[in-house]
Every structure is written in structure tokens, then in C-alpha cells.
Amino acid sequence: MAKLRAAILGYGTVGQGIYRILQDKREELHRSLGLDIEVGAILVNDLEKPRPDTPGVLITDNFDDILAIPGLQVVFEAIVGEEPAYGYLCRAIDKGCHVITANKVMFSRYHIDLHERAKSKGVYIGYEATTAGGVPVIKTLKNLLQVNSVQRIQGILNGTSNYILTSMRTDNSAFDEALRDAQALGYAEADPYNDVSGMDAFHKLMILSALAFEEQPEREEVEVRGIDTITLEDVKRAEQEGLRYRHVAEIVRHPDGRLEASVGPQLVGPDHPLYAIEGVNNAVAVDTNYIGTLTLVGPGAGMYPTASVMVEDYAEIIGKRAGFMISI
Amino acid sequence: MAKLRAAILGYGTVGQGIYRILQDKREELHRSLGLDIEVGAILVNDLEKPRPDTPGVLITDNFDDILAIPGLQVVFEAIVGEEPAYGYLCRAIDKGCHVITANKVMFSRYHIDLHERAKSKGVYIGYEATTAGGVPVIKTLKNLLQVNSVQRIQGILNGTSNYILTSMRTDNSAFDEALRDAQALGYAEADPYNDVSGMDAFHKLMILSALAFEEQPEREEVEVRGIDTITLEDVKRAEQEGLRYRHVAEIVRHPDGRLEASVGPQLVGPDHPLYAIEGVNNAVAVDTNYIGTLTLVGPGAGMYPTASVMVEDYAEIIGKRAGFMISI
């Protein structure tokens, strides 16, 4: 039976989701793709930490062990932060592995660099999970860019911020209380700074910019504001006026070619397409020349939505018959 | 230069859109896909009818002339109704052509039959344009079905009905007046029966059912109601209560495997995801096991949105290097 070996880097919420989906869907993926996928190793930070059982899988805190497993061809990366994730992915690509990442902080900076490296090695990078969680905005953009050009992208790109704003309005929760709920539900990172400061949405907007416009605006020229200055009173006052706060990331290509981006809270009314986007949902609206405006809405975080699009990336790479070595 | 020859069947709004996009994007598609595409022939109903100039293209009312053009490999079909469209596509497939269709009435009935025929000939069928116009619901469903299973699909699938309902509410137009506007704007078919009776949405729902559930419910068991019984007074009364009429097509897979489908008007409030879907827009919400609910919104009709997704289908087929004969 033709078999592929994969490794998972990072075994938090998303890493565990990938493992579970690959186990649950192994038979089905084998049937539909004609290849069996086996998780050979998982990279963790702390070997002593208790974790769900993964029979037959090498658990290691040393990346050299990962690269040494025989027949490794796919690396799923679900680590937080630029390093060591970037260094690991470079080494995996250099070894001829396809990589599938959920790491927006790293990818928003090394997007172009990693793509060039992957191209030179004839491997693919899947990065659907970096932006808008379970919402397939990357695949949709890639597809429509084959025929359309994009003028503007506007979205709710941070599920935690949207969850907090929703919870403040519907449950009368104070900001801190709503944030703690979001963390307990696994939506917010352990360090919530990136979420509530707007930086997380900014990273995702930069990834969308690189894809849609093949360039990114100068980082220091983008105004980034978070939701951390919005009080329960602000939210309630807006509600009385029939309005809702939404945290919106936006980028426009002006007719002269200049890119203009901003990230911050906006007040919207019932006819605004982002008014009804509630809870941990993300939404991305793309203005194109032929199709007009296309909007995608779905869960922007969570174990299974994020892990699911990473396994879809894997299926897409297989669909390309991307130079896998097949051992029968 | 590697060149592909295509034919367009039907030269109404959508057929003309395909021709224009293929002309406008010819250089770009050649660069990105590595193949040049040339429209060799267009099939029309009435040779005498005035139409935009198409230099060097055979204009014919005889399908035999289409099949006889040398090197034909792709057929774009934008005819209305089951026949002669179905017969033409069968003959094109038997000749080894890939086919890309926008014909929902035909495709909702011959979905499975055409797929089997195409498979036996090693060619592809593109049908993104049959359902929800410029909204890429077919590609998105195909992609997420690789990992997810679908429990429910709910959508606004007829742009004309939504345009009429919107126009009644916002412009105080009577039903007939709003319908005439929709026809003048090219949204409604010349014969609006399919649109306003709910049959058009029903056909699209059956196409989604075949894709998501690999089967269709018995046609006579589906309750189909249109918007033709809704009066301006109904719309205004709903507005005073903060509600809006939406024409919703819905299909559910029950835990026992049974499919249940319905098509008809529903009253929705501001927190319903379909409340803010205005004008000629379509929306499709898909409930899945891993991702949760994913919603896509965009223009459900019009020359360029529909034609654009057909050219994207072409790009996708090329991406599969689908057994094209390449003449250098």
C-alpha cells in the first residue's frame, strides 16, 4: 500500500486536531486520494506534559529526530511565533518535504521567502489555516485570481476579538471576563496580546495582501488598533443606537497602485455585511473586477476548523501529485 | 505556441461574457497556464440577429459545424433548458471535449449521467456557474468534502427573487414592476416562471444535493414555493416588524440518512445570516462536521460573475493537465 509519512510540529489545540482528523479520516483519505498517510512523529516542547495517547508515534522535543524519520514527506506546523518555526520549516523544505502551516506570525513575515525556497525544491506550502481559521479564503482567492483582479479586502480576521465584542453585547460581560471565557474555550492564545491589540488581524491581512496584490504595505505605515480600549458602556451605547462594534481589517489597492491598509474597530448598522457576524466567526469580503464582491463567513478559530483546512491543504497537495515518492 | 480551441454554445448574456473575458484575459491566461485559448466557433439560434463583432470566429446555427472545427477541446455551454443542450454536451464529451456548463435545468437532471459519461472518456465537467452565479460554492464544497461531511445546506439561490424582494421593500415597487426591472438588468430570464416560482432555486438545490450527499431527494417530495404570492403589503408589514422576506432553499440529511428538502419564502430577523443579503446576491450556508457553518455570499447572476467562474473552471481543468492534446 502506497504510504506517506507525516510529522506534526506542536501538539496544542491545532496539532491535536490534525492528529485526530488524520486518524478519523485515514480510511476515507486513502480511498479518495489513493495514498495512506501515517503520522510518524510529533514535536513537543515539554516531554513530561500529559497528553492524549498516540500509539506508535515518536514523541520528541528534538527537531533532528523529526527530520531523521524514514520517508518523511509532509510536515504540519502548528507552533506559535516566528522562531523556531521558521527555521524548522526551512530545514523541512530543504529536505524535500511539503509543509502545511497554521503559523500566521511567522508566515506573514516569511511568505515570499518560504515560497521561493519551496519552489526551488519542488515542494508545496499549504497555508489556508494561517488566515480566518476554517474559512477557505486562501483557496478561494487563489482560484478567483486566475481570472479576476482584486481591488479591496475587508474582514473580521480575529475570532477572539469578535467573540469578546459579541459577548460584551449579548451577555453584558466586561472586557476581562469575556477574554477569560475566550481563553477557556480555546479561542484566544495563552498570551492574548496579539488578539486584542489587533496584531493578529494585522498578520492575517499581510498574508492576504501578499496573495492578492503580490506585495505588502510597509508595516509601519499601517494603523493598527485593537479592541482593548472598548468598554462595556461603549458597546451598550452603540446597541441602543442600533449599531455594533466590529473589528475590521481592510486593505485597498488605489488606482495608482498604492496599497492602503488599516486595522481597527468600526461601528456598523444592520445593513452592513459584517453586522450579523457573531461570536468566534470570521468574515472576509473581497471586491473583484468580474465577480463583484464575494464574502466568506465561518469559524475563525478552534481545534477542528483550523485542523480541517490543514488536512484539506494536504489533500490538495496530493491532488497535484506533487512529486511524492511512493513506496508500494 | 501551445494552443487550445474552444467553442461557445449560446451567445446571450453569459456566452458574450465568456467571449469577452477570454479575449481580455488571453495573454494573462496564457502566461499563468502555459496554454493559449482561442474561441474557434460560437453556436447561435438565429444567424440574422445582430450581435457584437467576433473577428475570425465561425458563427453557426448548426452543432455539426462546431464538432467539425479542428482541434476542439473545450466546450462552454450557456444555453437555457434541457434540450438540445444535453444532446450537444453528450456529443462533445463523446468526441473527447471537456465541457463547462452554466445550464442548471439540464444539469440538475443529468448530473450523474454526464459525470459517468465524462469519466469514461477521461474528460472533465465544470459546473460552477450552474449554482449561485459568481459564488464559488461548487469548488468550496468539493474541497471541504475531502475532509468534512455535510449535514445541511441552506441558501438564497435565486438572485432574481432576492432582487425583487429587496426592491419591493426598499423602492416600494409592486411585484410586477420589480420583475420588469430585474429583466431589464439582465438578472431574470426572458421567461421569469423558473425564477419567481422557486423552480430555479430547486434545480440548484438538486445540484448541491448530488454533490454534497451523492444523491437527490425524490423531486415530487420536495415542496417548492415561489415569491409570486408575496404582495407589497406583506413586505411592508414585515418591515414594520423588523423582518424581511427571504426565499430560502434548504436541504438536510437526517441522522437516519434521509434527505429532506424545501424551497420557499421565510421571514427572518436582523440576527439571521440571510437578513443582510440584498439585491441580486446569493448566499449559501453549509453545515459541516469539522468546520461548522461556512457561508458564502456574492452575486448570483449577471454576465461577468457567471462567465468569470466558467473561465475559472477552464483554468482548473488546465491545472489538472487533463489529457489535453497540445499542438506546439
Instruction: Give the domain CATH number at B8.
Output: 3.40.50.720
- What proportions of chain B, in percent to the nearest 5, are helix, strand and coil? 40, 25, 35
Q: Please, are residues A8 and A43 in contact by the beta-carbon 8 Å criterion?
A: yes
Residue A303 touches chain B, beta carbons under 8 Å = no
Tens-place pLDDT, residues A129-147: 999 999 999 999 999 999 9
Pairing of β A244-253 and β A150-156: antiparallel
State whether ipTM is beyond 0.95.
no
Read off the CATH number of the domain in which A215 is found.
3.30.360.10
- A290 with B136: Cβ contact below 8 A: no
Is there a single domain that holds both residue B144 and residue B266? Answer: yes
Task: Give the nearest chain B residue to A138 (CA atoms).
Answer: B140
Could you tell me which of A149, A307, A264, A126 has the C-alpha nearest to residue A207? A126
Is there a single domain that holds both residue B39 and residue B121? Answer: yes
Residue A295 touches chain B, beta carbons under 8 Å = yes
Is residue A308 in some structural domain? yes
Task: Give the nearest chain A residue to B276 (CA atoms).
Answer: A271
Burial of A80 (0-12, 13-18, 19+ CB in 10 A): middle
Q: Is the pLDDT of residue A222 over 90?
A: yes
The Cα–Cα gap between A308 and A13 comes to: 12
Is there a single domain that holds both residue A262 and residue A292? Answer: yes
For chain A, give the number of residues.
328
- B25 with A134: Cβ contact below 8 A: no
Total domains present in chain B: 2
Mean pLDDT on A81-98: 97
Residue A200 touches chain B, beta carbons under 8 Å = no
Burial of B136 (0-12, 13-18, 19+ CB in 10 A): buried
Tens-place pLDDT, residues A271-318: 888 888 999 899 999 999 999 999 999 998 888 999 999 999 999 988
- A134 with B294: Cβ contact below 8 A: yes
Sheet holding B223-224, edge to edge: A223-224, A259-268, A244-253, A150-156, A281-288, A293-299, B293-299, B281-288, B150-156, B244-253, B259-268, B223-224
Mean per-residue pLDDT over chain A, rounded = 93
The Cα–Cα gap between A179 and A168 comes to: 10
Nearest CB neighbour to B298, from listed A276, A293, A299: A293
| Full domain range(s) for residue B256 | 137-300
Residue B299 touches chain A, beta carbons under 8 Å = yes
Residues of B with CB below 8 A from A134's CB? Answer: 290-292, 294
- pLDDT at position A321 is 58
* A-B contacts at Cβ under 8 angstroms: 135
Q: Is the pLDDT of residue A189 over 50?
A: yes
Is residue A151 in some structural domain? yes
Q: Is the pLDDT of residue A18 over 70?
A: yes
Could you tell me which of B126, B204, B190, B127 has the C-alpha nearest to residue B158? B204
Instruction: State the catalytic residue, choosing from B121, B204, B236, B320.
Output: B204
Is there a single domain that holds both residue A318 and residue A267? Answer: no
Is residue B35 in some structural domain? yes
- List C-alpha distances in Å: B64 to B19, B61, B88, B121: 21, 9, 9, 20
Could you tell me which of B33, B143, B154, B297 has the C-alpha nearest to residue A291? B297
Mean pLDDT on A66-86: 95
* pLDDT tier, A70 (very low <50, low <70, confident <90, very high otherwise): very high
Is there a single domain that holds both residue B188 and residue B115? Answer: no
Is residue B130 in some structural domain? yes
Could you tell me which of B284, B266, B295 has the C-alpha nearest to residue B156? B284
The Cα–Cα gap between B211 and B195 comes to: 22
Q: Is the pLDDT of residue A49 over 50?
A: yes
- A140 with B140: Cβ contact below 8 A: yes
Is residue B328 in some structural domain? no
Residues of B with CB below 8 A from A270's CB? Answer: 270, 275-276
Chunk chain B into consecutive blocks of 10 residues (it has 328) and report each block's average pLDDT, rounded to whole numbers: 89 95 94 90 95 94 96 95 97 97 96 94 96 96 95 96 95 93 80 91 97 94 95 96 97 96 95 88 96 95 92 89 42
Which alpha helices (DSSP H) does chain A contain, by range?
13-24, 26-33, 63-68, 85-94, 104-121, 137-144, 159-171, 175-184, 193-196, 199-213, 232-240, 303-319
- A147 with B32: Cβ contact below 8 A: no
Residue B118 touches chain A, beta carbons under 8 Å = no
Is there a single domain that holds both residue A78 and residue A156? Answer: no
The Cα–Cα gap between A244 and A64 comes to: 50
Is there a single domain that holds both residue A179 and residue A286? Answer: yes
Q: For residue A195, how many other CB atoms are within 10 A of its CB?
A: 27
Q: Is the pLDDT of residue A268 over 70?
A: yes
Minimal CA separation from A274 to chain B, in Å: 9
Share of chain B above pLDDT 90, in %: 83
Question: Strand, coil or helix: what is B142?
Answer: helix
Question: Strand, coil or helix: what is B75?
Answer: strand
Is residue B327 in some structural domain? no
For chain B, give the number of residues.
328
Is there a single domain that holds both residue B149 and residue B122? Answer: no
Mean pLDDT on A72-83: 95
* pLDDT tier, A183 (very low <50, low <70, confident <90, very high otherwise): confident
Is residue A327 in some structural domain? no
| Cis preceding linkage at A84, omega within 30 | yes
Instruction: Evaluate the CA torsion angle B252, B254, B259, B261 in order and state its sign.
Output: negative
Is there a single domain that holds both residue A105 and residue A171? Answer: no
User: What are the catalytic residues of A?
Assistant: 204
Binding residue ranges of B: 10-15, 104, 189
Which alpha helices (DSSP H) does A214-302 contain, by range?
232-240
Q: Which residues contact B14 (CB under 8 A, 6 or more apart)?
A: B78, B102, B129, B303, B306, B307, B310
Q: Is the pLDDT of residue A1 over 80?
A: no
Is there a single domain that holds both residue B289 and residue B160? Answer: yes
Is there a single domain that holds both residue B296 and residue B208? Answer: yes
Residues of A with CB below 8 A from B278's CB? Answer: 271
Is residue B50 in some structural domain? yes
Tens-place pLDDT, residues B241-279: 999 999 999 999 999 999 999 999 999 998 888 888 999
The Cα–Cα gap between A75 and A100 comes to: 6
Is there a single domain that holds both residue A48 and residue A100? Answer: yes
Longest dimension (CA), chain B: 66
- A315 with B146: Cβ contact below 8 A: yes
